Amino acid sequence: MEIIEKIKRIPNRIKRIVLQFAVFKIVSELFYKKQVEKHVNHLPEIYSEDLTLIESLRQEGAFITSLEELEIPTTSQLLVGAEKLVPELLTFKSDQSRNSNHVESLPLFKLMKYPEIFMWGLEERLLNIIENYIGLPVLYHGAHFRREVANGKLIGVRQWHTDVEDHRMVRIIVYLNNVTLNGGSFEYISKYLTSSLRKTLRYTSGFVSDEIMKTFVPTSDWKPCLGRSGTVIFSDTRNVFHRARPPVEADRFSITFSYTSRRPIAIFNKVILTRDEFLEISSRLSIRQRQCILGYNNCF
């Protein structure tokens, strides 16, 4: 489809505007579905216990589990690195935080002091799950080590929104401390209600206030994801309204791992390894894992 190839060459901002028009949106979705159909016989095998997770993403748009239940082999290394980085996150001040004072996120060069954190997101079992859900080979957008500051501010991604990077996408959020209702939990609205609300509001992107959300979706259908340290949330943040619930009692510490198809609609906050960083971990990665890393997916 020539029109799709032209759309892909448009810069992200303009591309999002173009895809708001019904005709372009329909063509883009048809092309995506066609690609998924072509790839269906090439999907990797998955563990039987992961079928429930994938089905929950398809129906609900989210799934809650834990590091213990997932049994990813390198989880202990992930936790060791995270424990060492939390003190840095408590003292680190980014240029962005000086203006907003509600969130801190460590830059990649600090995160890569403990590459096991980045590499955890490339575990083959996780890639298999996500590829089976998205339906296409996966692009890994890296790990974000994050602290939501407990100030109660309803700002930025603490407001209701859906992500726009792809037709389907997955974010995995790992809690690094106990998260209660007032502790900045990830909160979402089911896929079915999100789809209905999109049509009602004619929503394409941007933030939706609590007041508007309450008008169409009762708070009883707002689903905060609470849990102890080690809780893991899988969510298709493209297809569910979601937010970081504003924390008021305690900061939330978490790591977010993000994924789209190899050719997403848009890419934001590019996480690109330096050549030295890539070489340091490449010997421990399979060809498939290397191909999932942004900037290196055409090198093998």
Number of Cβ atoms within 10 Å of the Cβ of 50 = 18
Q: Yes or no: say if 132 and 55 are a contact pair by the CB < 8 Å rule.
A: no
Strands of the sheet with 62-66, listed across from one edge: 62-66, 231-235, 170-175, 252-261, 138-148, 103-105
Q: What is the pLDDT of residues 88-106, one digit of tens each?
A: 988 887 655 444 578 999 9
Q: What is the pLDDT of residues 199-213, one digit of tens each?
A: 999 998 999 999 999
Q: Yes or no: say if 178 and 127 are a contact pair by the CB < 8 Å rule.
A: no
Q: What is the pLDDT of residues 285-298, one digit of tens each?
A: 999 999 999 877 65
Residue 89 Cα distances to 96, 117, 247, 291, angstroms: 14, 15, 17, 30
Q: What is the pLDDT of residues 156-194, one digit of tens each?
A: 999 999 999 999 999 999 999 999 999 999 999 999 999
Residue 135 Cα distances to 28, 169, 178, angstroms: 15, 10, 33
Q: What is the rounded distance in angstroms from the CA atom of residue 56 to the CA atom of residue 170? A: 12
Residue 133 Cα distances to 20, 244, 290, angstroms: 24, 23, 20
Closest CA to 255 of 99, 106, 43: 106
- For the chain, list the domains and their CATH numbers: 1-42 (no CATH), 44-291 (2.60.120.620)
Q: What is the rounded distance in angstroms from the CA atom of residue 192 to the CA atom of residue 194? A: 5
